[in-house]
């Protein structure tokens, strides 16, 4: 199965299709970075906000399938088939088709909803994950909610891979987690000036019960 995922992923970059999707989709350097972090962490239960063209999902699952065991990837994307009012969708279901082509569709639990809606539900269900890749709503409030719920959904010391940290709203939301939740930056990178990312390690779940007046400006 790993070979098929790698084959589909490599073909997208070899024939130039991936370049046409950039910067909506991640580039090769970032993709290899997320794959390597999945493998390094031994991640089998992964979470993604924003499926899009499924380029990032291919890299994530390339890593987790190589880890072996019981693999489950949860992905959220309200615009996989539908667009915002007044806008045309970019995707038309292509992300799910690509997962089917790679032979890994059955490993993906897909929700055609916003991550800000799905993540709290997963938390209420008692679900836990090893690694989260966040590339959905890039406004501060959207990223903030994705980060907070990811931190609670991940095992303690899990990895959050935050995409598009060159955007002010994304970076400020990340800064809150670094300043107030004890998260640390494990790695960072860039695909030119249009795509920057940070790899964050979460802290103890006990931080969510800190005193009400505990706050560090960020």
Helices (H), 15-167: 17-21, 28-41, 55-67, 94-101, 115-124, 140-153
Name the pLDDT band for 82 (thresholds 50, 70, 90). confident
- Any domain includes 94: yes
pLDDT surpassing 70 at residue 89: no
Residue range of the domain that includes 125: 2-205
pLDDT surpassing 80 at residue 86: no
Indicate which CATH number applies to the domain containing 174: 3.40.50.150
Q: The whole model's pTM is what?
A: 0.94
pLDDT tens figures, 187-206? 999 988 788 999 999 999 99
- Any domain includes 217: no
pLDDT tens figures, 19-56? 787 777 899 999 999 999 999 999 999 999 999 999 99
Q: What number is the average pLDDT over the span 87-114?
A: 90
- Any domain includes 212: no
User: What are the structure tokens assigned to 167, written together?
Assistant: 């955007």
- Any domain includes 6: yes
- Any domain includes 15: yes
- Any domain includes 216: no
Give the span between the Cα atoms of 72 and 24, in whole angstroms: 24
pLDDT tens figures, 128-149? 999 999 999 999 999 999 999 9
Q: What pLDDT sits at residue 192?
A: 80
Compute the CA torsion angle 135, 52, 43, 187 (nearest 10 deg): -40
Q: How many domains does the chain have?
A: 1
9 within 8 A of 34, measured Cβ to Cβ: no
- Any domain includes 215: no
- Any domain includes 118: yes
């Amino acid at each position: 199965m790993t070979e098929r995922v790698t084959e589909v992923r490599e073909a997208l970059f070899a024939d130039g299709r991936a370049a046409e999707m950039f910067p909506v989709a991640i580039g090769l350097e970032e993709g290899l970075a997320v794959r390597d972090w999945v493998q390094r962490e031994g991640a089998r239960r992964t979470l993604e906000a924003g499926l899009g063209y499924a380029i990032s999902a291919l890299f994530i699952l390339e890593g987790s399938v190589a880890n072996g065991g019981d693999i489950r990837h949860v992905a959220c994307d309200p615009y996989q088939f539908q667009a915002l009012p007044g806008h045309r969708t970019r995707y038309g279901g292509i992300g799910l088709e690509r997962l089917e082509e790679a032979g890994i569709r059955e490993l993906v639990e897909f929700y055609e909803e916003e991550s800000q809606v799905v993540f709290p539900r997963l938390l209420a269900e008692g679900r836990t994950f090893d690694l989260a890749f966040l590339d959905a709503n890039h406004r501060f409030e959207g990223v903030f909610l994705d980060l907070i719920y990811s931190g609670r959904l991940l095992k303690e010391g899990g990895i959050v891979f935050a995409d598009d940290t060159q955007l002010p709203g994304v970076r400020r939301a990340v800064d809150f987690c670094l300043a107030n939740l004890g998260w640390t930056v494990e790695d960072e990178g860039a695909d030119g000036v249009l795509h920057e990312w940070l790899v964050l390690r979460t802290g103890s779940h006990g931080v969510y019960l800190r005193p009400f007046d505990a706050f560090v400006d960020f």
